[in-house]
Amino acid sequence: MDQEQNLDELLSCRLEFGRKAVEPCTIVIFGASGDLTARKLIPAFYHLYREKQLPAPFRILGFARREKTEDAWRQELRAALEQFSRTKPIEDAVWTEFAANVSYCQGDIAGPTAYKKLANQLASLPHEKLRRNLLFYLATSPSQFSQVVEQLHHTGLLHKGEAGDSEQRIIVEKPFGHDLRTARKLNTELTRYAHEKQIFRIDHYLGKETVQNILMFRFSNSIFEQLWNRQSVDHVQITVSEKLGVGTRGGYYEEVGALRDMVQNHLLQVLALVAMEPPVTLEAESIRDEKVKLLKSIRLMEPGQVDANVVRGQYTAGEIDGQPRPAYRHEPKVKPDSTVETYVAMRSLIDNWRWSNIPFYLRTGKGLPQSASEVRVQFRNTPHVLFAAQCGPRLDANAITLRLQPNEGISLRFNGKVPGTSMEIRPVRMHFSYDSEFGAYTPEAYERLLLEAITGDATLFIRRDEVETAWRIVDPVREAWEGRSLNAKEFYPAGTWGPVAADELLAQRGHAWRNPQPIT
């Protein structure tokens, strides 16, 4: 009896596959007065410090152009933390200790003088490892990334470690390039002064608990992995929807659009995790090898095939949650005749043994009725006998939904008998919710990513071949759209689930979008 009870205990297994201890280091943030630093980086560092995850000692050295005293910068950061911290109130004692490790270096990225000043500041740090173990965070405009790395090299602050054994690392923000050509150019420029293993390209989606859980879910549960293939799966839908429009970021968005902003990175990364083969080990290179292999097996489109497989859209005026929303073309800093897409729906086919001819539908958009990210694996219908023979399409096929955010969780949908004397069938849901199971502790993606970069684990960062392969997939789409005006079917009112053409894309194969369930 005792033995039986033990077998059903919820035992957890901590995976410590060679995780290195955190070594004392200095984090230099280029772009220290920017939005990203205020909204994401400083809150993440503060929480890591509060949870005693940062090395001892550590320093954060902010670098930006504006003149300001160290105290003024600290005050700005404190105000930002009040606004953006995931825990409130801010603990004064923790903040005071944390802030004592934070300093500021004013300078212009463009000239060598500032780097000498930075080098002097670093040289004055009291611990040898603080002077030598350097993590450079490039939170500036992407056009400045190469310049910073080159100057760091010339100043002797960045040494190229031949086998990736250098103590200096670089975190590179997105967007990484504008297309395959510019991504390759940036890769060449960065790897001139840093080994690939020193470069940590961020896609913050990979830091999300639920995205990491995709691999756990798939490869630690034999019941699901058996079904994860073309024999059982009918199609897969990956949705990343946002209620917000572009707001004040119109200028940025006009240069980017949804394809570059979301599909090339976040959606393709999620797709790779959902569809990749099991890696040989849990080490960074094994996982990244499998992701790249998967991305390489996505069928590339010729420009002439784009219209049949990809839909773009742009929101017009509408209403969300009872509030009127302007059209994209009326947002600040957006051209009145802009053709930039705020919505993309795409059918991808994966030419490998597991997924041959199974459509993977990706969609993302702004101005949609809900903000949610989820993966829905839609299974095949049962044979057309017994219940299916009588119920036809009203008998829903099984589905597994991995809800990435918000209301993180996993649902399994299957059919059950409605209690009563009649024979009535309807779908029911088995649901695992992170919050109910583990409490509402959800660290921000940046916390995890910063810690991984400090320890030198690149699993959650994008490798060179990965970023280039992703551009190879979206480039033909972008080229096909370039210079083409939008037709009536490509517009959608804000507050709806996208253009009609996106529904037609799925209808061609007898499918229909399953919208994320509203938050209850």
Ligand X SMILES: NC(=O)c1ccc[n+]([C@@H]2O[C@H](COP(=O)([O-])OP(=O)(O)OC[C@H]3O[C@@H](n4cnc5c(N)ncnc54)[C@H](OP(=O)(O)O)[C@@H]3O)[C@@H](O)[C@H]2O)c1
Please, what is the minimum distance in Å from the beta carbon of residue 244 to ligand X?
Answer: 12
Please, what is the minimum distance in Å from the beta carbon of residue 388 to ligand X?
Answer: 46
Q: Strands 168-172 and 399-405, how do they pair?
A: unpaired
Round to whole Å and give the CA distance between 34 and 445: 19
Round to whole Å and give the CA distance between 471 and 176: 10
HSE, side-chain direction, 13 A CA sphere, residue 249: 13
Site for ligand X in 70-109 (CB under 6 A): 108-109
Q: Which residues neighbour 439 within 8 Å (Cβ) at sequence distance 6 or greater? A: none
Report CA-CA distances (Å) from 238 to 97, 235, 267, 325: 43, 10, 7, 25
Tokens for 26, please give them. 């200095």
Tokens for 272, please give them. 């790779």
Give the one residue of 65, 296, 472, 514 binding ligand X; rule: CB under 6 A.
65
Of 234 and 261, the one with the shorter C-beta distance to ligand X is 261
Helix axis angle, 284-296 to 268-275, nearest 10°: 100
Of 176 and 361, the one with the shorter C-beta distance to ligand X is 176
Residues 232-271: x where in contact with ligand X by CB under 6 A, - otherwise, as a string: ----------------------------------------
Residue positions annotated with a catalytic role = 266
Of 164 and 406, the one with the shorter C-beta distance to ligand X is 406
512 within 8 A of 506, measured Cβ to Cβ: yes
Give the one residue of 22, 23, 142, 339 binding ligand X; rule: CB under 6 A.
142
Question: Cβ-closest residue to ligand X?
Answer: 34
Residues 102-141: x where in contact with ligand X by CB under 6 A, - otherwise, as a string: ------xxx----------------------------xxx
Alpha helices, H only, 392-440: 434-438
138 within 8 A of 31, measured Cβ to Cβ: yes
Length in residues, the chain: 520
Please, what is the minimum distance in Å from the beta carbon of residue 37 to ligand X?
Answer: 6
**Binding of ligand X by 479 (CB under 6 A):** no
Q: Which of 142, 133, 207 is nearest to 172 (CA)?
A: 142
Please, what is the minimum distance in Å from the beta carbon of residue 54 to ligand X?
Answer: 21
Please, what is the minimum distance in Å from the beta carbon of residue 285 to ligand X?
Answer: 25
**Segment near ligand X (CB under 6 A); pick from 9-17, 63-71, 378-386, 506-514:** 63-71
Please, what is the minimum distance in Å from the beta carbon of residue 423 to ligand X?
Answer: 53
Round to whole Å and give the CA distance between 177 and 462: 13
- The alpha-carbon radius of gyration of the chain (Å, integer) is 25
Please, what is the minimum distance in Å from the beta carbon of residue 88 to ligand X?
Answer: 20
Q: Which residues neighbour 88 within 8 Å (Cβ) at sequence distance 6 or greater? A: 82
455 within 8 A of 20, measured Cβ to Cβ: yes
Give Cα 193 distance to the centre of its chain: 27
Of 154 and 484, the one with the shorter C-beta distance to ligand X is 154
200 within 8 A of 171, measured Cβ to Cβ: yes
Number of Cβ within a 10 Å radius of residue 111: 11
Residue type present at position 12: S
HSE, side-chain direction, 13 A CA sphere, residue 325: 24
Round to whole Å and give the CA distance between 502 and 159: 49
Give the one residue of 27, 28, 44, 64 binding ligand X; rule: CB under 6 A.
64
Round to whole Å and give the CA distance between 89 and 100: 19
Residues 9-48: x where in contact with ligand X by CB under 6 A, - otherwise, as a string: ----------------------xxxxxx--x---------
Bridge partners (DSSP) of residue 400 are 377, 412
Report CA-CA distances (Å) from 304 to 159, 223, 309, 480: 46, 41, 10, 8
Rounded (5°) CA angle 104-106-111? 140
Q: Strands 310-316 and 491-493, how do they pair?
A: parallel
Round to whole Å and give the CA distance between 290 and 279: 6
Site for ligand X in 154-183 (CB under 6 A): 173-175
Of 309 and 371, the one with the shorter C-beta distance to ligand X is 371
Please, what is the minimum distance in Å from the beta carbon of residue 77 to ligand X?
Answer: 12
Please, what is the minimum distance in Å from the beta carbon of residue 29 to ligand X?
Answer: 8
Please, what is the minimum distance in Å from the beta carbon of residue 154 to ligand X?
Answer: 16
Residues touching ligand X, count (CB under 6 A): 20
Residues of this chain that interact with ligand X (CB under 6 A) are 31-36, 39, 64-66, 108-110, 139-142, 173-175
